[in-house]
Amino acid sequence: MSTTGILTERHDSIGHGHGSIRCDTDSVSGAVSQRACVYCGARVVLNPITDAFHIVHGPIGCASYTWDIRGSLTSGSDLYRNSFSTDLSERDIVFGGAEKLTRAIDEVCEKHHPKLIFIYSTCIVGVIGDDVDAVCREAEKKHGIRCISVKSPGFSGNKSYGYKMASEAILELIRPHSGKPKMRGVNILGDFNLAGEMWIIQNYLRILGIPVVSKITGDATYDSLIQAPSATLNLVQCAGSMTCLANQMEEEFGIPFIKVSFFGREDTTTSLLRVAEALGDEAAIAKARAFCEAQEAELIEFENLYRPNLSGKKAAIYVGGGFKAISLIRQFNTMGIETVVVGTQTGKPEDYEVIGQLVRKDCIILDDANPAELETFMKEKGANILVGGVKERPLAYKLGIAFCDHNHERKHALAGYEGVRNFTQEINSSINSPVWNYMEVEL
Ligand code: SF4
């Protein structure tokens, strides 16, 4: 199919600033989408739980999506860095894989004595219909542990559905621990501690005098997660993955939530002030004002050093959720960089509405794009840099333009005020690298 054909057929999920586009739907069957599958969505959310065992019930290929490409950090256990799979083969597919799964759980329990195991059902398990719930119930009785089924066959929806399945798994885990007295403090939902970002946010809250009850799920442990129903407020950092869990926790445990973003200078300041205000804590509000003012002053000075190098450059953004795209556009605006293409895998209509207001009218806005669309629009709009994840990196390099990893592989933190410094330096060194002068690609 020609590139033009692809664009024409999918025109309703491509728009311009100030227009509306179709989003939050399943990918077109057979299309090569940049979007990850249901299982991957579920794994994004649950994998950072550091002392849990994650057993992938399916062929070995699905298990390749593991810690190695989702580098969340831990302050304790590193069990989550291992990959466990039932490695289903032809025989299991014909006769069923439930027995093999039981044996895998027994082996893990015998060797490692875990408190918590997640079992991910992948495509083939959805097809052969193993009763994973029954296996989990039996394992819980036999071993006296929590063994939670995550229904995530890749074909059962899109990445957002995987987030929902992970949220249900978390609820199943924490529900029996609700009803305890409330504690003064917040849960952080939707930060996965990439390059230690959860620790940055936690430190800011410590400076403001706000305790963190539970981290969902960056650097989380079984014992800390089950405290979550006792918190006073939920902070939702990754709205795309965690809004359904936050809604459910509000309904079941009476915990209100606010959406925050610690990416970019403006959003970090706004979020810290909103957290303090939402708690109605006058002392925290005063501390937040003083802290943010001091941080902003230093950071603006730092940004001014780089402005001459960056002003007038053009950026393309393709990330997982809408909240991150919005923060990135705002940060680029403060750096004097224009966003000319922006897209997400799981953005919601309200995200695209905000995006439309932040960009110029001729900015290309994409939902669930494929590689051909991204390449076409980056070339058409003359982007100097692409901000994306592991699947977007080769597209940028193929076109001979700079790239910034804002996904799970990155090794330096991009959250908070520290993150803005790292981000500015990375954008500067990548966009202004002399290597681009030697490229022979015709843009
Ligand atoms: S689409 Fe299916 S087979 Fe592929 S990784 Fe996802 S669950 Fe596994």
Domain that holds residue 12: 3-25+311-410
In this structure, what CATH number is given to the domain that contains residue 205?
A: 3.40.50.1980
Does the beta carbon of 388 sit less than 6 angstroms from any atom of ligand 1?
A: no
State the CB neighbour count (10 A cutoff) for residue 94.
Answer: 8
Q: Is 50 in the pocket of ligand 1 (CB under 6 A)?
A: no
Instruction: Kindly state whether residues 153 and 49 are assigned to the same domain.
Output: yes
- Give the closest residue (by CA) to ligand 1 atom 5: 62
Q: Whose CA is nearest to atom 8 of ligand 1?
A: 62
Of the pLDDT bands very low, low, confident and very high (cuts 50, 70, 90), residue 32 is low
The answer, yes or no, to whether any atom of ligand 1 lies below 6 A from the CB of 162, is no
Is the CB–ligand 1 distance for residue 62 below 6 Å? yes
Is residue 295 included in any domain, yes or no?
no
Distances 215 to 94, 120, 186, 342, 412 between C-alpha atoms, Å: 41, 21, 9, 29, 20
Instruction: Tell me what pLDDT residue 2 has.
Output: 29
Query: Is the C-beta atom of 165 inside 6 A of ligand 1?
Result: no
Give the pLDDT score at 36.
76
Same domain, 233 and 274: yes
pTM for the structure as a whole: 0.90
Nearest atom of ligand 1 to the alpha carbon of 36: 6
Integer Cα distance of 46 and 259 in angstroms:
20
The residue out of 112, 141, 173 marking a domain boundary is 173
Domain co-membership, 150 together with 255: no
The residues, ordered by sequence, that sit 6+ positions from 41 with a Cβ below 8 Å of its Cβ are: 152, 158, 159, 160, 161, 162, 163, 165, 166, 241, 346
Q: Are residues 201 and 256 in the same domain?
A: yes
Residue 405's SS3 state is strand
Residue nearest to atom 3 of ligand 1 (CA): 123
Q: Report the separation in Å between the CA atom of 154 and the middle of ligand 1, taken as the mean of its atom positions.
A: 5
Q: State the distance from the centre of ligand 1 to the C-alpha of 39, rounded, in angstroms.
A: 7
Residue 199 sits in the same domain as residue 271: yes
Q: Identify whether the C-beta of residue 119 lies closer than 8 Å to the C-beta of residue 169.
A: no
For residue range 314-369, list pLDDT tens digits in order. Answer: 999 999 888 899 999 999 999 999 999 999 988 889 999 999 999 999 999 999 89
Query: Got the DSSP string for 201-247?
Result: HHHHHHHTT--EEEEEETTB-HHHHTTGGG-SEEEESSHHHHHHHHH
Residues 73 and 95 in one domain: yes
Q: Percentage of residues in the chain with pLDDT exceeding 70?
A: 93
Confirm whether 396 is domain-assigned: yes
Classify residue 16: in a domain, yes or no. Answer: yes
Strands 314-319 and 338-344: parallel
Measured in Å, residue 337 CA sits from the centre of ligand 1 at 37
Least confident residue range of 19-28, 188-197, 206-215, 239-248: 19-28
Where a domain ends, among 149, 173, 197? 173
Distances (CA, A) of 269 to 68, 99, 274: 32, 52, 9
Residue 181 placed within a domain: no
What is the rounded radius of gyration, in angstroms, for the C-alpha atoms of the chain? 22
pLDDT digits (tens, 9 = 90+) for 85-142: 999 999 999 999 999 999 999 999 999 999 999 999 999 999 999 999 999 999 999 9
The terminus-to-terminus CA distance of the chain in angstroms comes to: 22
Vertex 124: Cα angle to 82 and 70 (nearest 5): 30
Q: Is 33 in the pocket of ligand 1 (CB under 6 A)?
A: no
Q: Is the CB of 395 within 6 Å of ligand 1?
A: no
| Structural domain includes residue 424 | no
Residue 419 lies in a domain: no
Q: How many residues make up the chain in this entry?
A: 443
Q: What is the 407 CA–ligand 1 centroid distance (Å)?
A: 20
Distance 153 CA to ligand 1 centre (A): 7
Say whether both 256 and 355 belong to one domain.
no
Regarding whether 19 and 78 lie in a shared domain, the answer is: no
Q: What are phi and psi of 341, to 5 degrees?
A: -140, 135
Ligand 1 contact via 323 beta carbon (within 6 Å): no
- 291 vs 36: CA distance, rounded Å: 38
Residue 209 falls within a domain, yes or no?
yes
**Same domain for 378 and 320:** yes
The pLDDT-based confidence of 419 (bands split at 50, 70, 90) is very high
Same structural domain for residues 154 and 215? no
What number does the ligand 1 atom closest to the CA of 122 have?
7
Residue whose CB lies within 8 A of the most ligand 1 atoms, among 122, 155, 158, 165, for a mutation test: 122
Last residue of a domain, one of 173, 195, 210: 173
- Does residue 213 have its Cβ closer than 6 Å to ligand 1? no
Is 272 within the bounds of a domain? yes
Q: Quick: pLDDT tens for 57-80.
A: 999 999 887 777 678 999 999 999
Q: Are residues 71 and 115 in the same domain?
A: yes
Ligand 1 binding pocket mutation candidate from 123, 127, 156 (most atoms within 8 A of CB): 123
Q: In terms of Cα–Cα distance, which of 386, 388, 382, 289 is closest to 344?
A: 388
**Ligand 1 contacts CB of residue 154 (under 6 A):** yes
Q: Which ligand 1 atom sits nearest the alpha carbon of residue 40? A: 6
Residue 407's pLDDT is: 82
Give residue for tokens 């804002």.
Answer: 406
Q: Are residues 208 and 269 in the same domain?
A: yes
Q: What is the mean pLDDT of residues 270-276?
A: 98
Q: Is 114 in the pocket of ligand 1 (CB under 6 A)?
A: no
Token readout for 72 is 């969340």
| Closest atom of ligand 1 relative to the 153 alpha carbon | 7
Ligand 1 centroid–CA 326 distance in Å is 29
Total number of domains constituting the chain:
3
Q: Residue 29: what pLDDT?
A: 67
